[in-house]
């Protein structure tokens, strides 16, 4: 499908893209680029990539697709490096968990959103980090969301769609604004809650005993607190307005629940818990379709 793919940031997602591209024979040459040479050497040793460069300008030469898989906080500096070698014939895309911040960074650097840039977000991942956790089946049956804007070329949207489908993903589109609103609630907030809960319990004097006796529910709920802290700090800052709005809504509900507990209002608690249970069952039914 492509002669050369350049992956900026060869971690879990970037490595999985490389492995899936090899599995499905989507590319003849896979070049990785990043800040840490030892990580790129590891990717090469694992046969995830074919070669690597430390310079973005060198890595992208002759590429017909460039995929940015770095933390979203690094995007503006990456765009600055890409600007001098930008090719109108190449598809540029990303896997960032926020989209408004990506578009803002593009406009800051280019003065507009280039027509051959297709923002994307694969809804796939793991609490495990690094290229060692990469999998050639990570995207199988998972959604990949494209968030093109008015300036985006339909031709490049179609190329991007076909590429993600070839990686095994189910492709859908939505506006960048709607994307950030949805994922503030369904992804970014849960990660903040998991990090926060573990931190609260860690700071208790009897933290060793608490963790020793924590049951499976605690392990399941806090699994995502093992995710990459730098990546999630960047995501929180990049989607700050939508995330803080959702956090305030949760805070108001928690205050209501605390009040119901204080007043021993079982019926009030039941109404909230049953409503949430029903919503959860509806969510599961959608996943099983």
Residue 165: CB atoms within 10 Å = 13
Predicted confidence (pLDDT) per residue in 193-238, tens digit: 999 999 988 887 566 677 877 778 888 889 889 888 988 999 999 9
Going along the chain from its start, the domains and CATH numbers come out as: 2-174 (3.40.50.720), 179-287 (1.10.3660.10)
Of 41, 60, 61, nearest to 51 by C-alpha is 41
Cross-strand partners of 228 = none
Radius of gyration of the chain (CA): 21
6 neighbors 65 (Cβ within 8 angstroms): yes
d(CA 66, CA 160): 11
Distances (CA, A) of 101 to 93, 237, 240, 242, 274: 14, 9, 10, 12, 37
Q: Tell me, what's the pLDDT at 42? A: 96
Q: Tell me, what's the pLDDT at 202? A: 85
d(CA 239, CA 255): 24
For residue 97, the surrounding DSSP H or E stretch is none
The pairs formed by 108-112 with CB atoms below 8 angstroms and a separation of 24 or more are 108/76, 108/79, 109/76, 109/79, 109/80, 109/83, 110/79, 110/83, 112/151
Predicted confidence (pLDDT) per residue in 71-122, tens digit: 999 999 999 999 999 999 999 999 999 999 999 999 999 999 999 999 999 9
For residue 55, the surrounding DSSP H or E stretch is none
Cross-strand partners of 6 = 31, 66
Which residues, at least 6 apart from 48, have a Cβ–Cβ distance to it below 8 Å?
10, 15, 18, 19, 30, 32, 131, 134
Buried b (16+ CB within 10 A) or exposed e, 225-242: bebbeebbebbbebbeeb
Residue in the structure block whose two tokens are 């495990």? 128
Predicted confidence (pLDDT) per residue in 126-178, tens digit: 777 899 999 999 999 999 999 999 999 999 999 999 999 999 999 999 999 99
> Could you give the percent of the chain with pLDDT greater than 70?
98
d(CA 236, CA 191): 9
Q: Tell me, what's the pLDDT at 216? A: 81
Which residues, at least 6 apart from 139, have a Cβ–Cβ distance to it below 8 Å?
16, 17, 20, 122, 124, 164, 167, 168, 169
């Amino acid at each position: 499908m492509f002669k050369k793919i350049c992956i900026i940031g060869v971690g879990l997602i970037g490595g999985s893209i490389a492995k899936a591209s090899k599995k499905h024979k989507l590319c003849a040459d896979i070049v990785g680029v990043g800040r840490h040479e030892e990580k790129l050497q590891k990717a090469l040793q694992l046969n995830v990539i074919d070669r690597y460069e430390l310079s973005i300008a060198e890595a992208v030469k002759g590429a017909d697709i460039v995929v940015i898989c770095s933390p979203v906080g690094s995007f503006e500096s990456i765009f600055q490096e890409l600007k001098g070698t930008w090719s109108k014939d190449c598809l540029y895309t990303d896997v960032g968990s926020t989209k408004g911040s990506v578009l803002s960074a593009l406009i800051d650097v280019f003065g507009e959103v280039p027509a051959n840039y297709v923002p994307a977000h694969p809804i796939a991942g793991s609490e495990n980090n690094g290229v060692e956790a990469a999998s050639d089946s990570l995207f199988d049956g998972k959604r990949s969301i494209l968030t093109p804007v008015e300036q985006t070329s339909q031709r490049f949207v179609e190329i991007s769609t076909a590429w993600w489908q070839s990686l095994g993903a189910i492709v859908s589109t939505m506006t960048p604004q709607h994307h950030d609103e949805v994922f503030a609630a369904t992804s970014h907030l849960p990660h903040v809650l998991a990090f926060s809960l573990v931190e609260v319990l860690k700071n208790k004097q009897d933290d060793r005993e608490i963790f020793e006796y924590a049951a499976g529910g605690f392990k399941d709920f806090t699994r995502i607190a093992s995710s990459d802290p730098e990546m999630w700090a960047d995501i929180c800052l990049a989607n700050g307005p939508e995330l803080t709005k959702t956090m305030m809504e949760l805070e108001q509900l928690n205050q209501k629940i605390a009040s119901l507990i204080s007043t021993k209002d079982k019926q009030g608690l039941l109404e909230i818990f049953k409503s949430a249970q029903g919503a959860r069952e509806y969510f599961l039914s959608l996943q099983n379709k």
